[in-house]
Chains A and B, each alone.
Chain A
């Protein structure tokens, strides 16, 4: 190797690999879907009443049940992570080699910026509410809207820094979702459901599209990435 080495290109190419086959999008999309459905169930009047009754009348059983459920959820997340690795080793990355992604490969500045944007939106809405310019419902909806906004900013930044064009589309879709959650009159519980469903649909579509491309590249005999 005598040619000059493009350090950033090689490092970014390796970081990008985690996202190019779409499996990570599918994994996160499904996780968000499960979490949002649970959140919605707990926040609906029926769900909330059931949970309060369960805690009041069957405290020990409810705690055991909740811990068991949490454990099951962690097992499912861990299991799908292993499954993802197996699929990659056995098929998608068999020819091109396996890469274990960085445990924490995102910039701290970006994470702080995302949290700052989310807090600014929520605090701004609460301030407007105290001044009587926003209703309590809208102010409450600003929480899931801010979550969508923060995720969109994060995805846009990731797409820009790693040069993954589909994440720019995903980020813009997330921004529209944030606006929709904030503007469309729904209850707090429904807003969380739309947040989860919206992001799950966006990520599943993005993941399936990337996976289709990766599989067709694999079929065509080209190495992935």
Chain B
């Protein structure tokens, strides 16, 4: 078991599918707003908010709240800690995937 990590050893905070989707989207940009995250992940507003809060509490992402005209605007961005964690997760995910394909 030295070549790859078992899924039980994965970062649980990221391994949850909804949070994984959020992290994967944010890994491709500097920041994205709430509407874009809603559209790409397919989550509901409440669920997305809850997952964003959890990731923010862990220090994986930073949330910025502002106003665009009269409307509130929320955007999220991965922190450097979040990027590192996602990179590490992605590596484990690929190595495990490769192992399963070889088997």
Contacts and interface: CB of A to CB of B under 8 A. Distances in A.
Interface of A: 1-5, 7, 10-15, 17, 89, 93, 95-103, 105, 223
A105 B26 CA distance: 12
Nearest to B32: A99
Interface of B: 17-18, 20-21, 24-43, 68, 75, 77, 90, 93
Nearest to B94: A7
Nearest to A18: B29
Main SS of chain A's interface residues? loop
B61 to A, nearest CB: 14
A28 to B, nearest CB: 18
Contacts, number: 79
A97 B28 contact: no
Contact of B30 (A2, A3, A102): A102
B75 to A, nearest CB: 7
Given A1-B17, A1-B18, A10-B21, A100 B28 contact: no
B93 A97 contact: no
B37 to A, nearest CB: 7
Contact of A98 (B20, B27, B32): B32
A99 B29 contact: yes
